Amino acid sequence: MISLANHPERYALIGVGTSGDWEATLSEVLSGDEEDFLLELSGPTMAMAVHISSIEVASRLRRTLMQRLDPQSSPTPGFSEVRFDESLRLVCDNEDFPRCFLLARTTSGAVRLTLNERDLRELSESLRDMIDEARQDSESKPVSQPVDPA
């Protein structure tokens, strides 16, 4: 995963999910007044970290990835764009195969990631497991335990 040593925030890891070549982690940022989370995605050729406003953002991303894999729910010709948060959106075209571009304003710059059918499936499964763990964590622990970024 990405080193958090250069970030002044303190984090509490609340969810991890893996599938195939993908890993997704969600940490709660423990500094600041607003609810803030750090979503980290690691794939076969890249890793990125992006701040999101809620667990629901990750959940909506997962649902949208799953819809792209289902020919019955995929949009008709053209492409679609879904904005999940200020810093995260997904653009999908309508080629002969499922393909999407995850666009993110990350902790270190902007990233455009191309996702093929296998990536869509494995990333959505990783997100599912991460979200399930994060929701169980929030139900079972009244106070998050901080993780030292060093």
Task: Please report, for the chain, the start and end positions of each structural domain, with discontinuous segments joined by +.
Answer: 11-140
57 pLDDT more than 80:
yes
Q: Of 44-53, 65-74, 76-85, give the range with the top mean pLDDT.
A: 44-53
Provide mean pLDDT across the span 108-133: 92
Residue of 20, 47, 42, 45 lying closest to 122 (CA atoms): 20
Provide mean pLDDT across the span 33-39: 83
Provide mean pLDDT across the span 119-131: 96
pTM, 2 dp: 0.80
Average pLDDT over all residues of the chain: 83
Task: Decide if 130 contacts 58 (C-beta within 8 A).
Answer: yes
pLDDT, residue 7, reads: 52
Which run of H or of E encompasses 132? helix 117-140
Please state which of the ranges 1-10, 15-24, 35-44 shows the lowest mean pLDDT.
Answer: 1-10
CATH number of the domain at 11-140, please? Answer: 2.30.31
